[in-house]
Structure 1
Amino acid sequence: MVDLWVRRPGAELACWVRGDGPAVGYAHGMMLSRAAEEARGLHDWAPVTGTRRMVRYDARAHGESSGRAVVEDYTWPRLAEDLIAVAEETGTTDFMGASMGCGTLLWAAVTAPERFRRLVLIIPPTTGVTRAGAARLYLAEAAAASFDGAPSAPPPIFAGLASYPQRVSVGDGLLPSVLRGAAASDLPGRDALAMIRQPALILAWDTDPVHPVGSARMLSEVLPNAKLQVATSEAEVRRWPDEIAEYLNS
């Protein structure tokens, strides 16, 4: 059940709202969706929804949200405009973003810094030199239109997680545009990142080349008010909702 639709140029964004209290938003990773993350079962968000109104939405072309075959729509600065619209529609000032959602959130914070109070940056994606390699892969897979959304084997940290990896959760015919938009994207530059003054909790997990710890460490060095935690086991990752709730309520 969708609780709220946010209408955007070229898309309608499906949103779910759970819990009561001050709002906190959440933006998922590329080729996932709210339902896909629920099926993976890695995080129980009860610690957050116990004290917060949690707003989750499917990015354009993902899950139940619509989209169009326009590459620029899926670049992170453009996705940041969607995130800001969701924040404005729901009165959200605290926001979480994972992977693509992390990149989207950082661009949103650079674009509209007054909109946000606290940030939670989950598994920051490849950036800089490592981003170039990811971009080549995305472009090759966009040309083949055959990307299944996951590596052949999970990172060692999730070797025991049966629900990892997952298939894509992208609308029919839109996968090449999503991939090309990702290939054209990177995190904001260091000078822009250094202007983000909001407190930021950075959560990384080890052994995943798609979300290298180096990206998280770079952010922790550049963002003026950041705290970094690196998980080295699945159990530590599963504790993240408790740690996020404590951080947001501090």
Structure 2
Amino acid sequence: MQTGTTSFITTGDGVRIAYRFDGRPDRPVLLLSNSIATDLHMWDGEVPKLVSDFRVLRYDARGHGQSDVPSAVYSLDRLGRDVVELLDALELPRVHVLGLSLGGIVAQWLGIHVPDRIGGLVLSNTAACLGPPAQWDVAIAELMAAPDMAGAADMFLRNWFPAAMLEADGATVQAFRRTLLTTRREGVAGSWAAIRDADLRRTIALVTQPTLVIAGENDTVTTVRHSQEIASTIPDARLRLLEAKHLPNIERRDEFLDIVVGFLRGR
């Protein structure tokens, strides 16, 4: 369990998953699960504060970052099992989980299927179901027919950041653009298929962990309505709204972290 370096596990289906620890080994572990088309570095700005309370475990989902990129349709079950196999390999019986966007969908799956492995659950800018399925089929076909990730990168950035941040084109936006342009299309397409086929609207009623739901008031991808649906279905879940688009951890970092740490501390 090295700290500050990237290591790898291999899943049961032969896919290498990259992960990294930050923080002291004696702290409770907080697993961070990323948005689609990002890698574990999307949390670089948050880790310095999080390590005051937690040992932070980050990973690249299959199809992203330094993890392998199978050219296949991914399923939510497989994405969830990747996390379970990571926890097994690292001998971590129980962790807190913070998932954003697709990471939040994976976090919901974990809460449903391995409740004994999850302490506190934070679901940020996510949904229990993002339909209709046909829209994902069109998106997948268009992405795989495109010559590169340039068009998709522009689309993701518009969805993630407010106009003022995009116009300023600062270091943060540039870093996310670089990641998008180097992300393999097969990984995004496979992950979109997992989103297309996922519908947790009924089964999240089985989640028993303390749950915090965070929504961006200006999020056009996973809207406030999606967050309200989750919070009203998971028993005793809390809902917090932030004035942000799809990445409040970036746009409203201090407020986001105060909410997350305040919720998880002591659980």
Residue equivalent to 1:206 = 217
**Structure 2 residue 163 is matched with structure 1 residue 159:** yes
Residue equivalent to 1:12 = 16
Q: What letter corresponds to residue 173 of structure 2 in structure 1?
A: Y
* 1:1-250 map, 5 Å: 2-8=5-11, 9-20=13-24, 21-38=27-44, 43-71=45-73, 74-90=74-90, 91=92, 92-125=94-127, 127-129=129-131, 133-144=135-146, 146-147=148-149, 148-151=152-155, 154=158, 158-161=162-165, 162=170, 163-164=172-173, 166-167=176-177, 169=179, 174-176=184-186, 178-185=188-195, 186-233=197-244, 236-250=252-266
**More deviation in 175-184 or 80-89?**
175-184
3-state SS, counterpart of residue 123 of structure 2 = strand
Q: What letter corresponds to residue 89 of structure 2 in structure 1?
A: E
Identify unmatched segments of 5+ residues in structure 1. Answer: none
Q: Shift of the alpha carbon at 1:230? A: 1.2
The structure 1 segments of at least 4 consecutive aligned residues displaced by more than 6 Å after TM superposition are 170-173
In terms of fraction of residues, the more helix-rich structure is: 2
**More deviation in 153-162 or 57-66?**
153-162
Identify unmatched segments of 5+ residues in structure 2. Answer: none
What is the aligned residue count? 244
Q: Shift of the alpha carbon at 1:189? A: 2.9
Q: Structure 1 pair 232/36, CA: closer, same or farther in 2 (3 Å)? A: closer
3-state SS, counterpart of residue 173 of structure 2 = coil
Report Cα offsets for 1:59-99 as digits up to 9, x if no partner. 1121111232122xx32221011111223333142111111
Is this contact kept in 2: 1:220–1:228, CA < 8 A? Answer: yes
3-state SS, counterpart of residue 122 of structure 2 = strand
User: What's the TM-score, normalizing by structure 2?
Assistant: 0.79
Aligned-partner Cα distance in 1 for 2:181–2:110: 24
User: What's the TM-score, normalizing by structure 1?
Assistant: 0.83
Is this contact kept in 2: 1:33–1:58, CA < 8 A? Answer: yes
Is this contact kept in 2: 1:62–1:169, CA < 8 A? Answer: no
- Cα RMSD, aligned residues only: 2.9
Aligned-partner Cα distance in 2 for 1:76–1:173: 20
% identity of equivalent residues: 20
Q: What letter corresponds to residue 179 of structure 1 in structure 2?
A: A
Report Cα offsets for 1:154-175 as digits up to 9, x if no partner. 3596333333373374798942
Q: Shift of the alpha carbon at 1:232? A: 0.9
Q: Structure 1 pair 113/120, CA: closer, same or farther in 2 (3 Å)? A: same
Is this contact kept in 1: 2:65–2:183, CA < 8 A? Answer: no
